Chain A
Amino acid sequence: DVKVTQSSRYLVKRTGEKVFLECVQDMDHENMFWYRQDPGLGLRLIYFSYDVKMKEKGDIPEGYSVSREKKERFSLILESASTNQTSMYLCASSPPDRYAPQHFGDGTRLSIL
């Protein structure tokens, strides 16, 4: 089975801090994704990557950046955390084909105080 592991289930940070969310997948998938999930808004794409060192902006990239130095790892960075970034963050990975389903981690619930 595909395993997507997010480094933290719960995280509490302060406004202005630089925050790193880590995601690792063990199936050699080319694609990796970061989503943000908020009540009533569903999942919104922040960034995705289709290869090492490649990244593409999603629907809501403002205030975020990403890093993919190795194929199995995709990091989401909050450059200067703000309270409106309090949310559930979900990482996913998939093969490159359109018909390939994405596999999700368990999520990181991030609170910015």
Chain B
Amino acid sequence: AQSVTQPDIHITVSEGASLELRCNYSYGATPYLFWYVQSPGQGLQLLLKYFSGDTLVQGIKGFEAEFKRSQSSFNLRKPSVHWSDAAEYFCAVAGNQAGTALIFGKGTTLSVSS
């Protein structure tokens, strides 16, 4: 069965430090992968997506993610975190069939300390 694991429930990073949020997926074929961010009280906003091609994808707000098939991972990174990046981050994989829903990880909450 398809699944997404985000091993870290909560991470705290100092402002200006680098960030890496981990995501592992279980999927038989080529996955379609997404990272979303949710600010408090808001819906989810798409940060970036991977379908094929270059395994390093760039997103909004200075985020990037690297797809590593051998490790079944799609980790999210940012070189320098800003206080406004404090939010909950979700990794997701598209289901098998066209029109089916995304399968989400349980999320990682990012806190930023000054």
Closest Cβ of chain B to A44, distance in Å, is 8
A31 to B44, CA, bound (A): 17
The verdict on A86 contacting chain B, using a C-beta distance below 8 Å, is: no
Binding site for A on B (CB under 8 A): 9, 32, 34, 36, 41-46, 49, 51, 90, 94-95, 97-102, 104-107
Can you name the residue of chain B whose Cβ is closest to the Cβ of A47? B101
B93 closest partner in A (C-beta):
A98
Q: Is the CB of A102 within 8 A of B45?
A: no
Q: What are some 29 contacts across the A-B interface (CB < 8 A)?
A: A4-B43, A30-B99, A31-B99, A40-B9, A40-B106, A42-B90, A42-B104, A43-B44, A43-B90, A43-B104, A45-B101, A48-B99, A50-B99, A90-B44, A92-B44, A97-B98, A98-B94, A98-B95, A98-B98, A99-B32, A99-B49, A99-B51, A102-B44, A102-B101, A102-B102, A103-B46, A104-B36, A105-B43, A107-B43
**Chain A interface residues (CB < 8 Å from chain B):** 4, 30-31, 33, 35, 40-43, 45, 48, 50, 58, 90, 92, 96-99, 101-107
CA gap between A16 and B40 in the complex, in Å? 29
Judging by beta carbons under 8 Å apart, are B101 and A98 in contact? no
Which of B90, B99, B107 gathers most chain A CB within 10 Å? Answer: B99
Cβ of B101: which chain A residues have Cβ within 8 Å of it? 33, 35, 45, 48, 58, 102
| A45: chain B residues within 8 A (beta carbon) | 101
Q: How far is the CA of A48 from the CA of B100 in the complex (A)?
A: 8
Are A42 and B32 in contact, CB atoms less than 8 angstroms apart?
no
Which one of A40, A101, A106 contacts B34 once the chains associate, using CB atoms below 8 Å?
Answer: A101
Report Cα–Cα, A31/B94, bound state, in Å: 13
Q: With A and B bound together, what is the CA distance between A40 and B9 in angstroms?
A: 8
Assess A41 versus B49: contact at CB under 8 Å? Given A98-B97, A107-B42. no
Within the complex, which residue of B34, B98, B104 is in contact with A96, where a contact is CB–CB below 8 Å? Answer: B98
Q: Which of B90, B95, B97, B98 has the most CB of A within 10 A?
A: B98
Query: Which of B42, B95, B97, B107 sits near A42, CB closer than 8 Å?
Result: B107
- Complex Cα distance, B34 from A103, in Å, reads 12
